[in-house]
Structure 1
Amino acid sequence: MISLIQRALALLDTRLFEGLALLVVRLALAAQFWRSARTKIVDGAWLQIDPITFDLFRDEYHMPYPEFTGVLATWAEHGLSALVMLGLATRFGAAGLLVMTGVVQLFVYPEAFWNPHVLWFALALVLIARGGGLFALDRGFDRAFAAKGSTP
């Protein structure tokens, strides 16, 4: 029985399993921000910001300069979540989403720390610490840069 448990644990301690876990972490974090970004866009448009977004930033979020912060947040939610989903500049994208989570936590919904913000913080921190994993586009860039760096 112990041997069976040890073999099962050995399967979990592989790059493949870690890569799958980090893929799920990337998608879980990015999906939250992507879905939020899409609510700020005119239906059927790609990046045309819905005017109601500015009202939301002014009246509910109480953000300064809602015409600026609304655009910035919408573009950041789209861009950073796309980077994280693809695993391209994963640590950078996750750090950006961590900062956005901090802004939301501190200035918009301070009562929402344990649900859901702590989960977003945790997912972002895992990606910052571990990177995108085996199934990230970062891996291709890592290999390309390592190859260039290894040649004299």
Structure 2
Amino acid sequence: MSLIQRPIALLETRFFEGLALLVARLALAAQFWRSARTKVVDGTWLQIDPITFDLFRDEYHMPFPEVSGVLATYAEHGLSALVMLGLATRFGAAGLLVMTGVVQLFVYPDAFWNPHVLWFGLALVLIARGGGMFALDRAFDSIFKPKGTQS
């Protein structure tokens, strides 16, 4: 192999792809996890801070702030946990993609190039490729993958 082909061959391995998908999962999930943690009372797991409702009403201008605040907080926690663990990765990434779309359209419409386009890109890669070899999804591959396909 030439000096160029050898490094390229190393980059085309399942291990390297799995590592790249792990980093993509953690990068996307971390954004939403940190956001979720700002919406709960310090020292609790899911007790929603009353200021969250003010945020959804006054800054985000969301309808029904008591409902949308609760839904967003729980979705950010749950979906980012799924993506971090690589459990139902495509489902979790699709949920975070939808949340990013809502934030882009209704909350911060001027923030497309930074940071929303990055979140869209990470979510799309995870939807297309799955969680990779370092994801809990791998445990379910034999159950859900059609016979005759390769992993």
**Length, aligned pairs only:** 148
Q: What TM-score results when the alignment is normalised by the length of structure 2?
A: 0.94
What does residue 49 of structure 1 align with? 48
Higher helix share: 1
Q: How many angstroms does 1:146 deviate by?
A: 5.2
* Unaligned residue ranges in structure 2 (runs of 5+): none
What does residue 137 of structure 1 align with? 136
Cα distance in 1 for residues equivalent to 2:9 and 2:37: 41
CA distance 1:107–1:146, change in 2 (3 Å) = closer
Q: What TM-score results when the alignment is normalised by the length of structure 1?
A: 0.94
What does residue 31 of structure 1 align with? 30
* Unaligned residue ranges in structure 1 (runs of 5+): none
Q: Does 1:18 align with 2:20?
A: no
Q: Does 1:84 align with 2:83?
A: yes
Q: How many angstroms does 1:23 deviate by?
A: 0.2
How much identity, in percent, do the aligned residues show? 85
The 4+ residue runs of structure 1 with deviation greater than 2 A are 143-147
1:116-135 matches, within 5 Å, as 116-135=115-134
Cα distance in 2 for residues equivalent to 1:79 and 1:146: 24
Q: How many angstroms does 1:17 deviate by?
A: 0.2
